[in-house]
A and B are shown apart, each in its own frame.
Chain A
Amino acid sequence: MSVGTNSIGKPVSRVDGPAKVTGRAKYAAEFSAPALAYGFVVSSVVAKGRIQSIDRSAALAVPGVIEVLAHDNRPSLPSSHEKYTDQVAAPGSPFRPLYNDEILFSGQPVALVIAEEPEIARFAAGLVEIKYEAEATITELDTQIDKAFEPPEKRAPDWDPPARGDVESALSRAPTHIRKEYRTPVEHHNPMETFGSTAVWENDGRLTVYDKTQGAPNCQEYLCNVFGLTKDKVRVLSPYVGGAFGVGLRPNYQLFMAALAAIGLKRSVRVTLTRQQMFTLGYRPQTIQTLTLGAENDGRLVAVRHDAIANTSRFEDYQEPTVVWSGALYPCDDSALTSSLARLDLFTPCDMRAPGGAVGMYALESAMDELSYAVGVDPLELRLKNYSERDQNQNRPISSKALKDCYLQGAERFGWSKRRPEPRSMREGRELIGYGMATGIWSAFFVPTSARAILAPDGTMEIACATADIGTGTYTILAQIGAEMLGLPLDKVIVRIGDSDLPSAPVEGGSWTAASAGSAVMEACNGIRKELLKRASAINNSPLQGVDAADVTMVDGQIRVKSDPSRAMPLSEVMVSLKEPIRSEVSAAPDERALEEYSHYAHSAVFAEVRLDEELGMLRVARVVSAVAAGRILNPKTAKSQILGAVVGGIGMALHEETVIDHRYGRFMNHNLAEYHVPVHADVHAIDVIFVDEQEHRLNPLGVKGVGEIGIVGTAAAIANAVFHATGVRVRDLPITIDKLLELRQPTSNHAA
């Protein structure tokens, strides 16, 4: 598509699209190297205990098998857990793969078979005889509620704001109460690309690793720490990532395995995981949440209590912001928000798209819906009555909040006014129809990030930053920012990311990449602009002499004075005088103090229509409208794709996704994509995305908040609320499956009113 050089805000198609659809884009496990060997991971079949013995003779006897690495013959590794930590690690003792004979979770990698061909490695992996001494496991969160504890070390102090006011007495005074328990199950991210790492052993002892990760620098640091290498010896690249949703934030064990084998054998090694092994990585933890709301008869909140229990592993205290939203979204002087953890014999959970927000807001927004019926106030009206301009958790104003516009524009587009208030009051033919809505909120961040821009004499600019594009459109928006800043056509901007050698960036997560990498690129380009202007002014008879940088625009290949457009000069003319490329490298960081003065959130209002056959429980999400306020939208097309994908994730969360555990074996049982359900085309109908206008001036120079996660927050609640409106049945444990909907589950589960 041809766009002018004002490309920010344009619905530009992905710049990496052609490479992806033609197969030119290479993913971690597609890189090769001379004499590449292949590793296959042997996974523990028990969930707890010890390895008694490993008999590798049959495996080693297979022609083509090079080595079988396990705890008993691996190269030396550091014992300190510290060495295995990473930028995203939860407090605790990170897992040390192949370290000793201890089994901590089902599916734990216990050996790596390395062979000349992947098929041989996989075949031989089945011949490794491992004897275990198994111990009883505990994986049922319900049985551990009384052992739940407040984690001594916080992952982020802000997530557990102190209680304010006196919630108990406010509750006792409140004329209306809601107190309900909500449950969410374990979910696995299941990106399409399974995890893989190709560790290339360079002859000089350096290691180049192509890894599926959301943070090449994070993985580089991890490898350096674990294997005692200096940074110049390790380079990690993740040029393309086939989805991740958070499971690529921490280094996963295939990276460790590939590097261990490569270092041990002094040879290049690739390790990929199977789909089944994807269920041995991090996951969204299970939660049990109790929401207590006290309100005036007109629906105004007077007390909010949100208590959440989530599971973690035995060795790390994974935490996510589950309850914080309940104290920030609606005004309420008396509130108490608590999070506690229970240890299970599972691997450590990890961040999954809107960690904490997706599940916490499901509970809060379900409870708000229940309150709307209790006080007889329309659910949308109830939100408007409880609209807040301040973040009471932090006792500070909110930098920008166009949530009201989300409510109103979303409701208008959806046709909310056609909703009849009573449950079960809308139907067509055999189908009951339900309308439900919910609010979404997610933090907006700006985190320190570096970037470099190099403008070559031929008029092309290269932008470089270590961040990743996990399918979100990072390549595209960074190119747009570069093009916009210098007035270049989009195809003159080349973006390089996903490489630990490039200017450092945090992991690609938290919806902060557009804001942070985007701001860094913008500032790097500002450096180029200044230099260009300096050079332009130096040219004989330059019309730009003596102009202030702030008074200059660069559009359509022209450098022009804003206050006097007749004074202009083609960019090409300046370039002709250049012998060397112009470079600019910056570290962009927020002014932390200024940032502290305000709270920063993206918001949304989600409206859903469900239709269901009451007798058979077959449910469809017929329509979703998601109205989002997220500051400046850099690219409405890629941004819309983020919301669409997240809404589909929200449908999955509401109706399908659940990893089931057999507590006898401490094992996830539906570990494949036939049995772990995500929505398919038939489950996804009309999704309408609105970006409401929102001016954000404080968070970062771009005015961007990020849209990677806000789309899932609130969606499950909107659907669950629509289900209640359609049927009068309130299912309080996700996913809402046919048996729960028809109340056919025996013994009746926890969702009875």
Chain B
Amino acid sequence: MIDFDYVRANDLGDALSQITKHQAAKFIAGGTNLIDLMKEDVEQPTRLIDITELPLNEIHETQTGGLKIGALVPNSNLAYDERITQRYPLLSSAILAGASPQLRNMASTGGNLLQRTRCLYFYDTATPCNKRRPGSGCGAMEGFNRMNAILGWSNSCIAVHPSDMCVALSALEAVVHVMGPKGDRAIRSVDFHRLPGDMPEIDTNLARDEIITAIELPSEEFSRNYSYLKIRDRLSYAFALVSVAAALRIEAGAITCARIALGGVAHKPWRAPDAEQSLEGKQPSREAFVEAADIILQGAVGFDHNRFKIELARRSIVRALEQAAAGTPQSQSVKVIV
């Protein structure tokens, strides 16, 4: 762990000027990820800018019928907010599938988006990792890669993004609002995280000196036909081997809109528009769901310890879609899978 300064940002302008001034500074919100990484010497910020006093902890209605969630809204508050549980239950369910109540109480919405991979080699400075130390090699590729990617990986990194919340945000096509020295901008959640390519050290398309201010949910809620199914090595408090956020709009017995996002399989929440389109116009059926799953997993390639995820993902996609279609979403408290 290194020596660092700690300051508190008074307002957004202060936060931005601080981060611009200090090249090795980082924002800290709940600290549930950053502090762990600092203890392991994975992150070494020389200055922490505490943003928890900024006025970013409310949820507002938007003019287009959606919701705008402040970046500092704690994961627990968000998951249990009535507007979320009633209108965007997929998001609530995904958040409750993650971490533990204590962590969710501390974790912020913005921090959740920026949590880093749990790849074992990323966390252990005694081993090589291109994400942690560009050019040092990928320890996971030929190592213990049970939790690593089967889709969208590159020869330099096979890490996965560990968030549950982000998988739901991707399915809901949320928009991330950010503010930077050059002004405000909005990034579609599907574009927020990136694939590793040959620069695995960069997780997202957020610039170093930008701050997340809010996440906007569009008006399409998918409150009737949705499910968040998370498959993991124990029934709670474990990262996903595979997770699926499924959301369907069903009209007159036919699917008119389908969203499928996968967690635990790639460097970002994984979407496959062609698979979603394959469902449109069809009646919900196992065959149609299997076909969609096959499309999503067409290019999947696993490694020594995680090949099983391909078949597991296929089955999970089908089940999540079945749950969504039947209006019987996966419960995050009762662990029986319907």
Contact = CB atoms under 8 A, between A and B. Distances in A.
Given A616-B319, A620-B335, A680-B236, A665 B312 contact: no
Interface stretch (B46-54, B119-127, B170-178, B267-275): B119-127
Interface string B106-146: 00000000000010110111110000000000010011101
Interface residues of B, number: 40
Interface residues of A, number: 45
Contacts of B118: 674-675
B233 A742 contact: no
Given A675-B120, A680-B236, A680-B237, A669 B143 contact: yes
Contacts of B235: 618, 620, 680, 682-683
A655 B319 contact: no
Interface in A671-699: 671-672, 674-675, 677, 679-683
A437 B312 CA distance: 29
A441 to B, nearest CB: 28
Interface string A24-45: 0000000000000000000001
A600 interface: no
B120 A737 contact: no
A123 B38 CA distance: 11
Given A672-B123, A738-B231, A744 B143 contact: no
Given A123-B3, A655-B234, A677-B233, A738 B308 contact: yes
B326 interface: no
Contact of A745 (B127, B236, B308, B338): B308
Interface string B234-275: 111111010000000000000000000000000000000000
B207 interface: no
B1 interface: yes
B7 interface: no
Interface string B288-326: 000000000000000000011001100110010000000
A681 B123 CA distance: 26
A706 to B, nearest CB: 30
A568 interface: no
A660 B2 CA distance: 28
Contacts of B39: 274
Contact of A123 (B1, B40, B121, B143): B1
B312 A742 contact: yes
B338 to A, nearest CB: 7
Contacts of A343: none
Main secondary structure of the interface of B (DSSP, over half): loop
A429 B319 CA distance: 14
Interface string B14-58: 000000000000000000000000011100000000000000000
Contacts of A430: 337-338
Interface in A606-653: 611, 613, 615-618, 620
Contacts of B121: 669
Contact of B311 (A674, A682, A742): A742
Contacts of B236: 680-683
A680 B100 CA distance: 10
B144 A616 contact: no
A565 to B, nearest CB: 57
Contacts of A683: 234-236
Nearest to B306: A739
A614 to B, nearest CB: 10
A126 interface: yes
A616 B240 CA distance: 13
Interface string A739-751: 1001011100000
A656 interface: yes
Contacts of B312: 616-617, 738-739, 742, 744
A677 B11 CA distance: 41
A335 to B, nearest CB: 37
A45 B126 CA distance: 5
Counting chain A CB atoms within 10 Å of each CB, the highest count among B118, B241, B308 belongs to B308
A738 B127 contact: no
Contacts of B238: 677
Contacts of B142: 664
A683 B234 CA distance: 7
A672 B100 CA distance: 16
A365 B100 CA distance: 35
B275 to A, nearest CB: 19
Contacts of B233: 656, 677, 737-738
A431 interface: yes
B120 A616 contact: no
B336 A664 contact: no
A548 interface: no
A662 B142 CA distance: 9
Interface string A154-176: 00000000000000000000000
A234 B209 CA distance: 56
A742 to B, nearest CB: 7
Contacts of A670: 120, 144
B337 A616 contact: yes
Nearest to B100: A680
A119 interface: yes
A682 B234 contact: yes
A431 B335 CA distance: 12
A618 B308 contact: no
A742 B313 CA distance: 13
30 contacts: A106-B126, A119-B1, A122-B1, A123-B3, A126-B41, A430-B337, A615-B315, A616-B231, A616-B337, A617-B312, A618-B337, A620-B235, A660-B146, A662-B127, A662-B139, A665-B126, A665-B127, A667-B127, A672-B123, A675-B120, A679-B234, A680-B235, A680-B236, A682-B235, A738-B241, A738-B312, A739-B308, A742-B311, A745-B308, A746-B308
Given A276-B40, A616-B231, A665-B126, 15 more contacts: A119-B1, A123-B3, A662-B127, A662-B139, A672-B123, A675-B118, A677-B234, A683-B234, A738-B231, A738-B233, A739-B312, A742-B308, A742-B312, A744-B307, A745-B308
Nearest 4 CB-CB pairs, A to B?
A744-B308, A45-B126, A682-B235, A682-B236
